Amino acid sequence: MIPHEAAMLTPVANQRESSSSNLGKISIAVGIALALGAFFYFDLGRFLSLTALKENRDGLLAFTEGNFAAAVGIFILAYAIVTGLSLPGAVILTLAGGFLFGAVGATFFVNIGATTGATLAFLTARYLLRDTVEQKFGKWLGPFQEGFAKNAFSYLLTLRLIPLFPFFVVNLVSGLTRVHVGTYVAATALGIIPGSFVYAYAGRQLGTINSLKEIASPNVIGAFVLLGLLALVPVVYKKYAPKSA
């Protein structure tokens, strides 16, 4: 009698768990959609422009000098939100950080905010989409998932170092893989340091910058590409190194 009752309860419990999971996914998706809708409806992006930053630099600097701890907290929180929701404006925030906190300080604060936001985006994509993607495309993604998992750190580090790949795309696509969260966080935190420092350092000369293209010069991008290729050296070595007996 008891085993039979347990067998009857199992499908019901699974159904309830599935319904709860679906409700959670819907709630998160709706919350993200509302946040994105509010951002574009109220045109909040106008505050994340080079023009707005240059116009308000004196006020921002005065606030930071008088409320340093609060300024740092607001900066990190804003960076995490922008990154987590895949909103435009991360580069402007990095420039602002460099102007307000210095190149080294800003690089550190950007790293905290960007890594936090990227991890939230990664976990959200994994929670909302990975099961569905694997169910529909699992047999095609299998070899990719296996290869990516074996060399996840090097691949992710390369994707972070080379600015040719949009930051938010790497966040979302990584969430669909089986890479461990710890590996993702470590590769992200390490890989964004060079780019963050370049833009934070440029932020110190905010008054002389008229376009973001002035910062992302071919030489700078070439250096990032070289760093990204160097990160792939371990993968290439493991693939082509002679097998020991």
Q: Which two tokens stand for residue 22?
A: 């679906």
Which residues, 6+ apart, have CB-to-CB distance to 184 below 8 Å? Answer: 119, 122, 152, 156, 174
Report pLDDT digits (tens) over 177-194: 889 999 999 999 999 998
- Which DSSP letter does residue 43 get? T
Where is pLDDT greater, at 79 or 130?
Answer: 79
pLDDT band at 234 (very low <50, low <70, confident <90, very high): low
Which residues, 6+ apart, have CB-to-CB distance to 231 below 8 Å? Answer: 154, 157, 158, 161, 191
Report pLDDT digits (tens) over 79-96: 999 999 999 999 999 999
Q: What is the rounded CA–CA span in Å between residue 188 and residue 93? A: 18
Residue 241 burial (10 A CB sphere; 0-12, 13-18, 19+): exposed
Farthest-apart Cα atoms in the chain, separation: 81
pLDDT band at 245 (very low <50, low <70, confident <90, very high): very low
C-alpha dihedral over 17, 23, 25, 29, to 10 degrees?
180
Q: What is the rounded CA–CA span in Å between residue 179 and residue 169? A: 15
Please check the confidence at residue 172 and state whether its pLDDT lies above 60: yes
Q: What is the rounded CA–CA span in Å between residue 163 and residue 225? A: 8
Mean pLDDT of 223-227: 64
Is residue 178 within 8 Å of 144, Cβ to Cβ?
A: no
Q: Name the average pLDDT for the chain.
A: 84
- Percentage of the chain surpassing pLDDT 90? 53
Predicted pLDDT at 244: 47
Please check the confidence at residue 72 and state whether its pLDDT lies above 80: yes
Q: pTM of the prediction?
A: 0.82
